[in-house]
Amino acid sequence: MTTKRDLVVQPAHDLGGLPAGPLVRSDHELTPFEKNCHALLNVLSRHKLVNTEEKRRGVEDLGAQIIGELTYYERWAVSASKVLNEKGVITSAELGAKMNEIRTRLREAA
């Protein structure tokens, strides 16, 4: 049985030795979104804006439910936004405004 302590100590990313089903040899070509996310996080790491450990920590801090529901690169995007916000590099307000601006641009272009 999973205790409340276990939820803290063995977060959703630490999988070694846990029960798991049969291996499925899955793979796919990265989508443009996934490539953009991967490249963005590499660039953020290069500039020490979000280093690799901060990105990982940001993903872990999303908690088991979000980790379970979001795809691999969706987690990266959310983690990056949260770490940048924490560090005061960007504010939630300016990020929200920029997201709205991008949506408007995309709808107009459609």
Partner 1 sequence: MSDRFVKHQRVRIADRDAPGHVRTPVYARGREGRIERVLPRFLNPEREAYGVNEGTDVTLYRVRIDQSALWPDYDGPADDVLELEIYEHWLEPADRPHPEEVTP
Partner 2 sequence: MTADPHAPIETAAAEPDYFDVLQQAIRELLVEKGLIEADEVRAMIETLDAHQPALGSALVARAWTDEAFKERLLADGTAAIEEFGIENYDGTKLIVLEQTPEEHNLVVCTLCSCYPRPVLGLPPDWYKSRPYRARAVREPRVLLKEFGTDVPEDVTIRVHDSNANMRYLVLPMRPAGTDGMTERELAGLVTRDTMIGVTTPRLP
Query: Considering only residues 89-108, where is the footprint of partner 2 by CB under 8 A?
Result: 89-90, 94-95, 98-99, 101-103, 106-107
Minimum CB–partner distance for residue 3 and partner 2 (Å): 19
In the shown chain, the binding pattern of residues 28 to 67 toward partner 1, with x for contact by CB under 8 A and - for none, equals --------------------x--xxxx-xx--x-------
Tokens of 110: 């459609």
The angle at the Cα of 29, spanning 23 to 30, to the nearest 5 degrees, equals: 105
Instruction: Name the DSSP class of 31.
Output: P
CB atoms under 10 Å from CB of 45, counted, come to 16
Instruction: Name the DSSP class of 2.
Output: -
In the shown chain, the binding pattern of residues 10 to 49 toward partner 2, with x for contact by CB under 8 A and - for none, equals ---xxxxxxxxxxxxxxxx-xxxxxxxxxxx-xxx--x-x
Q: Select the binding partner of residue 48 from partner 2, partner 1, none (C-beta < 5 to 8 A, by kind).
A: partner 1
- Angstrom distance (rounded) from CA 110 to CA 108: 5
On the CB side of 64, CA atoms within 13 Å amount to 11
Which residues of this chain interact with partner 2, rule CB under 8 A?
Answer: 13-28, 30-40, 42-44, 47, 49, 56, 70, 72-74, 77-78, 80-81, 84, 89-90, 94-95, 98-99, 101-103, 106-107, 109-110
